[in-house]
Amino acid sequence: MVVDFVNSNKDDVVEGRKIGVELICRVLQVVPSTYCGARDHAPSARILSDTVLSGELFSLREASQKVYGVRKIWKAARHAQMEIVRDQTPRLMRFLGIEGVKRSSRAKTTNPDRTAARHPDLVKRVFWSSAPNQLWVTDLTFVPTWAGVA
């Protein structure tokens, strides 16, 4: 990344003078020999592997209609005979900027009106009785269904 930046800007002219590698490296706080070593160095095996796997992971995601997350992409990659390890999948997905579909949170079924009058507490928060049929208490439960909330 630094190599690309230096290469694209080293021939720029400012105030009649070419900027050059040394000035850019000084501003970026990079030793010029580090730039030269990185420029002349061949890409590592990891970078080459990541380049190939990134394209394949992206196509697997497109094939899954953009819903698969890390676990399912990794399983699909293994099923497709790709040489990929489990920790490599989330790293490559972050690099590509892709993620699975997030599950929605539970639907909120009640929107309380804070200004409405409250029903009186007839049992005064005492939920036990000394004999049967002296106290009756109920609870409302909302069950989400395909047709709506029941």
- Torsional class of 108: left (φ above 0), alpha (ψ -120 to 50), beta (otherwise): beta
- Degrees, nearest 5: CA angle 96-98-104: 165
Domain count, the chain: 2
Surface-to-core class of residue 110, CB atoms within 10 Å of its CB (0-12 exposed, 13-18 middle, 19+ buried): exposed
b/e sequence 29-49, b meaning 16+ C-beta within 10 Å:
ebeeeebeeeeeeeeeeeeee
Residue 136 lies in a domain: no
Using one digit for the tens of pLDDT, what is the confidence trace for 5-35? 888 888 888 888 888 888 888 888 888 888 8
> Which carries the bigger pLDDT value, residue 48 or residue 105?
48
Asked if residue 54 and residue 33 are part of one domain, the reply reads: no
Residues 49 and 24 in one domain: no
Whether 126 maps to a domain, the answer reads no
Partners of 14 in the β-ladder: 17
Residue 142 lies in a domain: no
Could you give phi then psi for residue 71, rounded to 5 degrees? -65, -45
Q: Is residue 65 part of a domain?
A: yes
CB–CB of 61/53 below 8 Å? Answer: no
pLDDT: which is higher, 143 or 90? 90
pLDDT score of 118: 83
pLDDT at position 138: 77
Within-domain flag for 20: yes
Distance separating alpha carbons of residues 79 and 106, to the nearest angstrom:
33
pTM: 0.50
Rounded distance between C-alpha atoms, residue 117 and residue 72, angstroms: 50
For the segment 45-99, what is each residue's pLDDT rounded down to a tens digit?
Answer: 888 899 899 989 889 888 888 888 899 999 999 999 998 988 999 999 999 998 8
Domain span including residue 80? 45-96
Q: Is residue 89 part of a domain?
A: yes
15 and 53 assigned to the same domain: no
Same domain, 18 and 55: no
Q: Are residues 34 and 50 in the same domain?
A: no
Is 102 in a helix, a strand, or coil?
coil
Residues 52 and 66 in one domain: yes
